Amino acid sequence: MSVVIYNTLSRQKETFEPLSPNQVKMYCCGVTVYDYCHLGHARSYIVWDTVRRYLTWRGYNVRYVQNFTDIDDKILTRARKEKSSMEAVAKKYTAAYLEDMARLNVLEADEYTYATHTIDGIKRLIHELEQKGYAYPAEGDVYYSVRKFEGYGKLSGRKLEDMRAGESGRTETQQTQIKQDPFDFALWKSAKLDEPAWESPWGPGRPGWHIECSAMVRDRLGDTIDIHMGGADLQFPHHENEIAQSEAVTGAPLSTYWMHNGMVNVEGTKMSKSLGNFTTIRNLLDAPDGPNPMAIRMFVMQSQYRMPLDFTESAIAAAKKGWATLNDGLNFGQQYGKNLGWKLNETDLELEAAAVQQFQASMDDDFNTPGAVAVLFGLAKELQRQSNLIVHQGSPDADLWTLQQHWRTLVQLAGVLGLEAQNQEESATDSDSTNGISDAEIEKLVEARSLAKQSKNYAESDRIRDDLKAQGITLIDKPGGVTVWHR
RNA sequence: GGCGGCAUGGCCAAGUGGUAAGGCAGAGGAUUGCAAAUCCUUUACCCCCAGUUCGAAUCUGGGUGCCGCCUCCA
């Protein structure tokens, strides 16, 4: 069995075969750093993080490179607005990106690249394109002559004659007049007054958007990589243009597989900065009753990465609840393992084969995370049941070995999806120290409540229970008038 | 106008030829003084029409609706 990937290039699922056995070179189109990231970005990078984690778990040696676009009109506009510099704005939002992603448990790339650090490679590439007749200078700009590249449109499946230039209403009129063809795009833009600029054979200026990715991939990973990924909205023109640039120069395919994630929608339409219908990651997480970052991962994992994903209050609420169940399961070992006599560091325990097999079958099929998450829930619900038995009856009804295996399997597989529990012991200690109430005091209150119950003074007994609840202590009445509690 | 995608229970969402995973919510029951938690049970003519097939949510054709892209985009 091998991994199957939906390749945008062929519009079908293909068996994954890396160029060199067990080596995977991945390049992910990163963000333009002019603002905080929103949920659309969160989805995208959580998805690619998961692909990377899964391939790694499957035994591939993955090299993951991602860029930051730190030269761009939007950054400049932002810098003017904030009376700052392009560099400062880019720095600020690059840092913010890294913070947000760390919270979402997105692993750092093996290498991050920056447009500003790739100027030489960019200039080299443009020069080669010029020599090979694919690029032409015009009034200090340099443009790519799209009609010279035979395969233009092969990724997005479109023909130049079918497209309406300027359909989206965003064409820059100035450029339109300079370009030989409306579909030609800028490789190099001449600098206007008080704009950051780099020296070049075509005069001072800065690179166009698409060229940086071509240059970075070539510099860091080589002429052909295994997987190139990004948002579905990058398919055209960005990735199409990358292909045109890279392949015209190298004569080799830029990437064997192209993967695109579906958009995050708000009330049926795409979340985007220009529409203003976005929620930033930090706003969502930092809201008073905001979700745990892992709940966001759950939210993303519960739909297939190529499908649109609707962001709604109720979807987040459902993900929060779902995460709570999973989190309980993940904490089972910390909570009960010691009492059950587990050795927690025992790692040579075999995982539960059926669950692993089902998980892998789902994930192998173009990263079917909803199927994989269902496996996680199967394990978590069983642990939840056992946990309830322990609390109410004092012991589980499964043998300890099986329980430990369940738990280890859950932790391991959830980890492959980047779903990790908070360290419960830590938070428990936290609440011990910050929460003034001691065990003895709780016992006293529980005792008082039992007496109140016996005399049928339920108002009093409920008051005590509510008070304790407010302090994070849950009471459980068991048959026979016994009450147990836990924080 | 062109290209692509999607339509599955109250909401979300897997399933791509053998008669519907999972999550959230709901209902009934067990338990409880009432709760909480948990357990058990339970809710689907798979957008419409036609076709292929012994058999289709799944394939084919035709509708209808929604979404994305056509040089800001994750």
Does one domain contain both A476 and A406? no
Kindly state whether residue A267 falls inside one of the protein's structural domains.
no
Q: Kindly report whether the peptide bond that precedes residue A18 is cis, defined as omega within 30 degrees of 0.
A: no
What type of residue is A134? Y
A415 touches strand B (CB under 7 A): no
CATH of the domain at A247: 3.40.50.620
Kindly state whether residue A275 falls inside one of the protein's structural domains.
no
CA of A41 to C1' of B34 (A): 47
Give me the pLDDT at residue A436, please.
Answer: 64
Does one domain contain both A406 and A446? no
Cα A164 → chain centroid: 34
CA of A476 to C1' of B37 (A): 8
Q: Number of folded domains in chain A? A: 3
Give me the pLDDT at residue A259, please.
Answer: 97
Report the nucleotide nearest the CA of residue A171, measured to C1'.
Answer: B71
Kindly state whether residue A389 falls inside one of the protein's structural domains.
yes
State pLDDT tens for residues A248-307. 999 999 999 999 999 999 988 999 988 889 999 999 999 988 899 999 999 999 999 999
CA of A351 to C1' of B56 (A): 37
For A64, the 3-state DSSP assignment is: strand
pLDDT along chain A (487 residues), means of 10: 92 94 96 96 97 98 97 93 94 97 97 96 96 94 94 89 72 70 92 89 94 96 97 95 96 96 93 91 92 95 95 92 93 86 74 93 96 95 88 81 91 96 52 61 86 84 84 75 74
Give me the pLDDT at residue A283, please.
Answer: 96
Question: For residues A55-76, b (16+ Cβ closer than 10 Å) or e, as one string?
Answer: bebbebebbbbbbbbbbbebbb
Domain final residue pick, A261, A289, A319: A261
Give me the pLDDT at residue A425, please.
Answer: 45
Report the nucleotide nearest the CA of residue A325, measured to C1'.
Answer: B23
List of A residues 296-355 with CB within 7 A of strand B: 302-304, 306-310, 312, 314-315, 317-319, 321-322, 325
Does one domain contain both A343 and A379? yes
CATH of the domain at A311: 1.20.120.640
Instruction: Determine the Cα–Cα distance for residues A348 and A340; give it in Å rounded to an integer.
Output: 18
Kindly state whether residue A388 falls inside one of the protein's structural domains.
yes
User: A338 is in which domain, residue-wise?
Assistant: 281-426
Does one domain contain both A114 and A211? yes
Kindly state whether residue A470 falls inside one of the protein's structural domains.
yes
Kindly state whether residue A98 falls inside one of the protein's structural domains.
yes
Give me the pLDDT at residue A466, please.
Answer: 84
Kindly state whether residue A467 falls inside one of the protein's structural domains.
yes
Kindly state whether residue A272 falls inside one of the protein's structural domains.
no
Give me the pLDDT at residue A432, please.
Answer: 44
Does one domain contain both A231 and A363? no
Does one domain contain both A368 and A459? no
Does one domain contain both A381 and A440? no
Give me the pLDDT at residue A429, please.
Answer: 40
Does one domain contain both A209 and A319? no
Instruction: Determine the Cα–Cα distance for residues A211 and A186; give it in Å rounded to an integer.
Output: 9
The long-range contacts involving A172-178, CB below 8 angstroms and separated by at least 24 positions, are A175/A141, A178/A138, A178/A139, A178/A141, A178/A143
Give the CA dihedral A466, A467, A471, A476, nearest 10 degrees: -50
Identify, with chain letter, the residue nearest to nucleotide B39 (CA–C1'): A385
State pLDDT tens for residues A23-77. 999 999 999 999 999 999 999 999 999 999 999 999 999 999 999 999 999 999 9
